[in-house]
Structures are given as C-alpha cells and as structure tokens.
Amino acid sequence: MRPAPGAGALCRLVCQLMVTGPAVAVVACGGGDLVIPPDEPRQIEVVDGNDQIGRAGLPLEEPVVVRLTDEAGVGIPGRAVAWVVFAGSGRTMPQTSMTDAEGLASATWILGPSVGPNTLQAVVSEVGLATFSAFAAAGDGGGGGGGDVAPSATRSAISVDPSTLEAGSGISTITVVVRNRSGDPVENASVGSSGSFGADDGGGRGR
C-alpha cells in the first residue's frame, strides 16, 4: 500500500522537530542574561519579649526574640545576631546567637542590678538593629524568673476588721494585699501608712 501524498514530507518535518526542538530550548534558556540574585537580609524586627517587667539582677520570664527577613519577608537563616545592652548594665545569654531556618534568633535577658529602665539591642551587621525595653523592679533577690512584680494600686486591697470601734474599746486589724497588674500577689512589698485617728464626736467627725 502506497502512502498518501505528502506523508513522507510530514514524517521528515516531525523528525526534524524532534531533533532540533531541545536544541532550540537550550538556546532560549541558556543565555547569560538570566541571573537569580541570592536572598539578602533586609530587616530585623522584634518578635517577642519586649516591654517586660522583672526583678533587678534576674532573668526576664520570657526570652527576647527577633526575626531576620529578606525583601519578600522570608526568614534568613545562618546569620549572627549580637545582643548589646544599651542601658541598665544587664547582660544576655548568649551574647551572640544565630538565626534558625525561619530567620529567628533568641536570648535570655538578665536585667541590671538597679531598679529602673533597661534597654537591649539586637544587631545584625550591615542590616540594622531592633530595640527591646524592660523595667527592673525591686525584689527580695530570691530565685525564679522575673514576672510582673510592680505593685498596682487598683489591684491591691485594704481591709479593716472590725471596721468600727467605740472610743478606747479595742483594736482593729488592717490588712493590705499588694497585687500586680495581673492581680497576682506581690511578695515582700513595702507598705507604709499615715493618718490620724480619733473618737467620733457623734457628728461623724473624728477628734
């Protein structure tokens, strides 16, 4: 059976495309103009651990965490982050840490020995820095992490038992419970009092 007219030419065309097709693709994709730049860190930002309150001279309860990202917001791994104490005379453990696969780096911040504000900076060379703030409150120097130990006037409570007495007839007990902003008791807090007390003259006035 003879092939239809033009079948041989069609076969030669298909065979030619099969041979030359990959070569054309190589030429199209193999030029020297296609350059994929490596990811470069563009920004370092605070992730967690900012604005904590702890006891002077002790570690904060939460670690300080930063993230290093490229222009598209993708984390950059394997870069050194230096933790630099800017104010408060504290220190960190470690002093330098490496970013992980997500671009995160963390450290434990130990506050300075004096009551007052503390400042810490996370620095990446040729990129920039991120700043953390914390407040060192007075404490008993005992162990444990540095939670919120600053007394809160609105959360603390005062009770008197009994609340009223006849003149010269007895003693009232005044109880003060000092709490922080979260409502948790604050141990070893200093409490002071001032005022004057006198007998009621019957008109609701003390004398």
What tens digit of pLDDT does each residue of 134-149 get? 999 986 543 344 455 6
In CATH, 41-137 is 2.60.40.10: yes
Number of H helices, E strands in the chain: 1, 11
Exposed, middle or buried: residue 57 (CB in 10 Å: 0-12, 13-18, 19+)? middle
**pLDDT-flagged residues of the chain (< 70):** 1-39, 139-150, 153-155, 161, 165, 170, 172, 181-183, 187-188, 190, 192-207
Length of the chain: 207
pLDDT per position as a tens digit, 54-77: 999 999 999 999 999 999 999 999
Domain boundaries, the chain: 41-137, 151-187
Beta-strand pair 157-161/128-137: unpaired
3-state secondary structure of 199: coil
Q: Which amino acid is at 138?
A: A
Q: Which amino acid is at 197?
A: F
Q: Which amino acid is at 207?
A: R
